[in-house]
Chain A
């Protein structure tokens, strides 16, 4: 029994958290993390933020120091997984190594979506997902470089901020009519557009990239309306794709993500999955979603370990997200829907405001800009399903917690 192994595929936030939690709960057998490259256990958020700044160090912080894994007896194996053999309960690496498992935890993460247009793979075209990607991009972002960023989501805008700060000539091409349209509402979008514009970044909305051209390396970006944007560097920030291929090949249920339940269990009771590669489905609570969130990845990892060790599933924390652009921090708690009622709290011109998303009168999500107090308090109110008085809540002088207008409903 004691030699039974839990194999964890992936050394990102989810994979490491699963190992840490199994250690905490005293799993009696081996704990093995399979990492694609040695040293994959590093913090991801800084890659598009601090790591791209002038004077940033050569490396990003590790998720745990090297000695930690040795001290806790967590083994690490370097190699890419070629196949999962569920009938033999083993994982086969590309070099033929077979790792037998008692339980398997898949945490392979996601990959950055590449530009599927002619010239999309020219030299000078960057994606940003790994530390190597970030290093390559950082080298390319020299003062005066013409940088065209495709996609105005978190990653695209964080890169735009870094590029502008480094003195690059920065243009953002976005298919939709505003920045971060998938994750936030109009007032927040317009505010951040202004922040970037004030640092010299140009935006083109409704832009559909059709082709990249250049002799050997990228020289220009062409859009559907025939416009041409000269470019030394192109960065595609057009989302991620869950890495579900191995799971799918092994016959596990997948649908834009490896399907997992609230205990992070896949369609095979001995196989769990956590993090960006997963889609959480729970019909009882009406949940069917794929999140790109560290906190969610870690919670799923903890629940996988809990389930393996016969512990109850931990409460699911309200999903939350953050981005920092030109030093301005946007923090979001909860998941908004486009049809939510919007309450603006404070004046965006002041640089400190929040947008509340009310669903049937209850706080479903909150975006906060430069207002961490509202973030923390809003996150608690979202968790509680609190109903807010919209008029009161629109006044930033009134504490958010003082705008609750009826007994708080119980949620799970």
Chain B
């Protein structure tokens, strides 16, 4: 288990402001962002149904996370800001030790 180690991430908000937050055990990335007051709507509650928790991670980080589910990909591909190399739905990213220190950029709001 990784629960004893602290995981801190750097989050870049839509206005370009950067802030470090702690990613607590048992939370998805979406929950961490939401609970730290970032503008993550997550209307579906984290079930990969709505794409309102879209973020960008570094490509190297995305590569370590394993493949995206077909549902997640379908949702992402319809986003105007979609980037095949760096886009993720944050509700589908679970905490793990290797993610300490990563930068997470909140994707622009879409209709």
Residues of A with Cβ closer than 8 Å to B?
23-24, 43, 45-46, 61, 64-65, 68, 294-295, 298, 317, 320, 322, 329, 331, 371-373, 376-377, 380, 383-384
Contacts and interface: CB of A to CB of B under 8 A. Distances in A.
B35 interface: yes
B43 interface: yes
B47 to A, nearest CB: 7
Contacts of A23: 37
Contacts, number: 50
Nearest to A23: B37
Interface in B72-111: 74-75, 77-79, 110-111
23 contacts: A23-B37, A24-B37, A64-B34, A65-B24, A65-B31, A65-B35, A294-B43, A294-B45, A298-B43, A317-B43, A320-B43, A320-B50, A329-B49, A371-B74, A372-B49, A372-B71, A372-B78, A373-B74, A376-B51, A376-B78, A377-B78, A380-B111, A384-B111
B24 to A, nearest CB: 8
A253 to B, nearest CB: 28
A331 B74 contact: no
A23 B50 CA distance: 25
Given A294-B43, A298-B43, A373-B74, A383 B49 contact: no
Contacts of A371: 74
B30 to A, nearest CB: 11
Interface in B17-50: 24, 27, 31, 34-35, 37, 41, 43-47, 49-50
Contacts of B34: 64
A372 B43 CA distance: 15
A22 to B, nearest CB: 12
A327 to B, nearest CB: 11
Contact of A61 (B44, B45, B71, B78): B45
A317 B110 CA distance: 11
B75 A372 contact: yes
B52 to A, nearest CB: 9
Nearest to B39: A24
A383 B111 contact: yes
Contacts of B24: 65
Contacts of A64: 34-35
A331 B46 CA distance: 15
Contacts of A320: 43, 50
Given A295-B43, A322-B44, A373 B49 contact: no
Contacts of B71: 329, 372
A87 to B, nearest CB: 36
A3 to B, nearest CB: 24
B74 A45 contact: no
Given A298-B41, A329-B71, A372-B75, 10 more contacts: A43-B45, A45-B45, A46-B45, A65-B31, A65-B35, A295-B43, A331-B49, A372-B71, A373-B74, A377-B78
Kindly name the residue among B34, B37, B45, B71 whose own CB sees the greatest number of chain A CB atoms within 10 A. B45
A375 to B, nearest CB: 8
Contacts of A61: 45-46
Contacts of A294: 43, 45
Contacts of A373: 74-75, 77-78
- Give the residue among A65, A294, A298, A372 with the most B Cβ atoms within 10 A: A372
Q: Give 10 closest A-B pairs by Cβ, nearest first.
A: A376-B78, A372-B74, A295-B43, A373-B74, A372-B75, A68-B35, A43-B45, A380-B111, A373-B78, A377-B78
Nearest to A60: B45
Best-surrounded residue of A24, A371, A373, A376 (most CB of chain B within 10 A): A376
Contacts of A295: 43
